Structures are given as structure tokens and as C-alpha cells.
Chain A
Amino acid sequence: MSDNLTLPAQQGSKDTAAETLLKVEGLTKHFPIYGGFPIKRKVGAVQAVDGIDLTVGVGESVGLVGESGCGKSTTGRLITRLMEPTDGKITYKGQDISHASRKQLAPVRSEIQMIFQDPYSSLNPRQTVGTIIKSPMEVNGIKPEGGRENKVRELLELVGLNPEHYNRFPHEFSGGQRQRIGVARALALNPKLIVADEPVSALDVSIQAQVVNLLQKVQDELGIAFLFIAHDLAIVRHFSKRVAVMYLGKIVEVADRDSLYNRPRHPYTHALLSAVPEVAIDDEIEVKERIRLAGDVPSPISPPSGCRFRTRCWKAQDKCASEEPPLIQLSGNLDGHLTACHFPEDPTTEARGEDVVLDPALKALEDSAADEAGATVTKG
């Protein structure tokens, strides 16, 4: 693969070893649920994020993928401290910010910025674009050289918008342009880390690429570290040098992108990759493995014991229910490639001898189709 040219493995390990910008240890967020009779009390918790470890190096782009309810967005909000963690530690540049007060956070807030999914609701419709981009500087009392207004115009130009549109309102822009405004706002304070939560998933296909390219340009030219949170595996791969896969509040696998996409070990990573629909653009049919899970993701209120994926896993055994697999480097894996699985898969995504089809309806339909085909063959 052409990927080998970029030596991703080395890069990943180098980044984490050299300069760590953000370090997350045992990060946990439980949302309490109240109920009971006659007096309401805490009866449980949505275990949105449950003890994850993650590092982001200076200027590094880290991807976070997973399906809805896996806790990836909550993780983003915890890191930007829009929420306070229930447990665990967030260290930014060596400073513990997990429970920092508003005042203590102030200098850090300007360095960690967030880009949101919905470019329609994340911009105040009553403010002009200039005001939206300028306000973070005002709040944080930052006076750039040449004045704030000048800086706003520079930012607009940087994100590919016309600086003349300074006084326009968000509704005068298209979805893609609004997301550019969101990027400009995030850049206003010269951040060191941007948490981008599904930054392109609300956009049309042809516009997604424009925004991804913009983010990549920002990352390369300004050396900003990114935590790129998305459900689209291909986009995350394109953007992030290192990728973590989340399932029900846990990181199940993390690796440099080449290892994760080509030599995944966790069954869930295999299932995810196999489920991505790909355009068949040429006749060289890549024979990909076919894995079809059964049912939906279980509720994070009462997640399965042990390994949380075991209820949908084809390799699950008793051990998986009793013992939670640690996130470790398996033998044969590169440095920095960690997997949380007792019975890991082979490091390949090529087709298996037999498809893994766990969905009962699919299995029934395919078995009966196969039987019919078999019957006609024997008849013939």
C-alpha cells in the first residue's frame, strides 16, 4: 500500500513519545438516572464514557470512531471541559484540568477549541459573522496585532470565505460556508488543540471534501493538534494519523491508521470495517471479509459485564463475560497498537472461508436460498 511511504507506525509512536499535549487517563462520565418510588432517587447511570485512556501529541491528528451511543461525543465534550468528568484525569500540557474551576480553565479554554456537527444551530443567528468570530477574542481579552477586526478578516480569508462578508448573518451562508465560519471561530484564539465533533456529517457529499481539506490545511499549516470525532471510517482514516475505536464507552482498539485499517485485531473493528459500503470503482474486486452483526448496540445503562462487545461477538466465550479485557499491545502488533480483546482476530481484512453472519433473519434467508440453490444443483 502507498501508505507505507508515510511510515505511519513510526510517526504514531514518535508523536506520543515526544511531546504529549493532552493526556487522558481513566476518563469516565456517568449521567445519573433518577426514578423509584415514592421518593425519586438515583437508580442508575448512563455509562457514556467509562474509563478511557488517550493521548494527543503536539500537532497530532487523532481520530475517534464509533457508532451512536459509544461515547465519542461525550469524550469530546469532556476534553474541552464543556462537561465535568465523573472520574479520571485530563492533563493538558502537564496541568490537571479534570476538575479545574472556571478561572483556572480560562487560559486553557482558549487553547482547546471545538467545532460542532450542526453548522445551523451552533452559530447565533442574530449575530453577524464578524461578531461570532470576534467574540472569543473579546471574552478572553486577546488583542491581536492590527486589531480584532483585522484578525477576523484574515481568518475569513484563511477558511476560504470572502472577508467582505464580515457583516453578514449566518443564514446568508450555505451549510458548508457556515461550517467554515465555525472553523474560523475555533481558530480565532490560536488554539493548540481542536476537538472536531462530526464536523462534516451534516454536509452534502460534495461539500464534505471541501471542509475536510480546509481542516487538513489548518492542521498542516498551523500545526494544530486535532481530535477528529466521526462515525465515517473513511473520512477518519483520511484525516487522522492515529485512530481509536470506541464501543459502549470504552476504547476497544487504538493504533496508527495503517495498522487499524489493514491489520485490525479487535472483532468489533473487523465488523465496522466490513460494514462500510464502498464504491466498486474497478474490476479488481478486493475480496473483503463479510461480517454481519445481530441486533443493535446494547443500552449504556446496563452494559454487558466483562467485554462489552461480547453480546454481539462471534468469538465470545465465558472468559469474556467474567473478565474485562485490558487495552494492551498484542504480540505481533506494532508499538502503539493496543487492543482490548481476549480472543483477537487475525490481522487481516481479507475474506474468510465462511462469512460471519449473526443476524438471524439474514441467516435464515441466506440458508434457505443456499438450500434452494443446492437443491437445484443436485436435481440438475
Chain B
Amino acid sequence: MRLRGLTIAALATIVLMAFAVFSACIGRFAVQPAQVLHALAASIGLVARADTPQAHMVHSVVFGARLPRIGGALCVGAALSVAGAAYQAVFRNPLVSPGLLGVLAGAGTGAALGIVWGLGPAGVGGLSFLGGLLAVACGVGVAHLFDAASMLMLVFGGLISSALFTALLSLLKYIADPQNQLPDIVFWLLGSLTQVTPRALGVMVGPVVVGIVLLSACGRMLDGLAMGDEEARTLGIPVVALRYGVIGAATVLAALTVSVAGMIGWVGLVVPHVARLLVGPCNMRVLPTSACLGGMFLLVCDDLARTLSVEEIPVGLIADLLGVALFVAVLPLLRRGWRA
């Protein structure tokens, strides 16, 4: 049993690496897989670095431009998908996306505010992250005003918070300078990985990995939660702490993705379903599988975004389109699994 889990994890890692190497090869400047592997091996000192102009070119393309993006795509896709899967488990609802409590609307608003204030990329990202957290805090706060224990109230709180921050976002768009700022806001909201710098990636990797591990560790308790709050408590699960802990971690992950890559929404709803189809309903498998699939999915989307046309297409757009296609494709299979 455990061995099988390890084998699958190892296979998934290999597939993920293969995807990443493949992605590093494609683009305007064609690179051979062997060159990528050589550059990678050289960078960690396994082989001597070739001192030719060609090798330098490969090195700068692979390390300067493509790998940060690839890492960004993997992180963002994984974080959104695992956040979506966690939200679906906590709310016992397969139609929930990470945006349920307003994190996407809030993060979008924060980013727009940063753009209107004329901040740099780091400032915009930071404000966006804070905006996401603030929106969820608002949603949870509204729920607390009435009945904190009720999930319905949390959903209502999220609706209210989403509506509020969407309105604020519209206001910011309205007052933004239509020549420079408005296009920036619109482009940001479409979602893009062009801004991912090695530094931004470095900031992101740690929290994303920790978040995925923490959420996956709660997988079995989330299964218990599926039986209903009271039953879960009789099984020994600290329901309220678990719910807020998981919402907190998933929110941080989702807000991080927006602060790095803008709004890429659908991934978080669709990918967990595909994961459940593959590994069944148990969250200790669904959560890591979602992370893995989500990373690959967004990487494919980003490859398409880079290569489909001469002009880069926003990856959020591709992810939405592909996500819809994927959802329609798996919907007939999903219906068998649900009670409905």
C-alpha cells in the first residue's frame, strides 16, 4: 500500500520533470532537450559548463526566461488546485472554487489599487496578496456577525465579500487612467505568467510546498468532515479549528497565485474533479494529486499561451478555455460518482 503510494509519487515526479524539460525546449528560440538537461546538470555542478556562445544563449534562455515561468506555472496551478480541492472538502460541495470566500476578487482589487497608485510589480503583488486575505477576512467576519458555526453563513459572507470587492474593483477601473493604468489592470486580471521573476518564484515556492503538505496532512480529517459537522466531532475531529485552518491555508495559497500571476480561476474548480476520478474520494490522495495535475495543466496552458501565436496570449484565458473543455469532457464521468 505504502509502496504503491511511493511508486505513484515517483512516477508523477518523473512525468512532471519531463513536462518541465519539454516546456523549456519549446518557444521562439528552439532548444534541444539534451541541451536543457546539460544546462541543468551544469548549473548544479554535475558536468562542466560548455563555454560556447550557443551554450551561453541556452543558459540565459532556459534559466533567465523559461524556468522561472515553468516553475511559476507549476506553483500557481498546484496551489490553485489544492486550494480548490480543500475548499470543496471543507464546504462539502464539489462546485466550490477557491474564489468562494472572495479571495480572487479581493486579490484582484488589491492589484488594481497597486496599479492605480503606480507601484512596481512587487508592490502590486504584495497589495494583491493582502487584498485576498482581507476579502476572506471580511467574508468570515460577516459570517461571524450572525452564526459562525454555520457553513451557509460562511457562503453568504463570501458572496457579500466577493460582491463588495468586485464593486471596488470596478470603481478602481473607472478612476484608473485609461491610457496606461486601465490596460494594465485588465491585463493583470486576465492572468499571465510573464511577470514571474526568479525572485518572485523563490518567494512563492516555500509557502506553496508547505501549504500543499499541510493541507494533504489534513486529508483524512477532511474525509471525516464529509460526514457532517456533528458526526465529525464525534469522530474526534476539532471541526471549527480544522475548517478555519484549512480555509486559512487555502486562502494564502490562492492569494499568492493572484499576486504572482493574476486571476486564473477555473483551474481550482476543475482539476480536483479529475483528481477524484483518478484516485477516488479520499482527500489524502485527492489533495496531492490535484496539486500535481494542476501544475501540469497550467504548464500546458502556459506553453500554449507562449507558442500559439506570435503575440503572447494571457494564460488565464487559455486556462479558462481549456478548463471548460476539460470539465465538459469529464462531466459524464463525474455524475456517476456523485449521489445526484
A and B together in one complex: no
Which chain A residues have a beta carbon within 8 Å of chain B's beta carbons? none
B residues with CB within 8 A of A: none
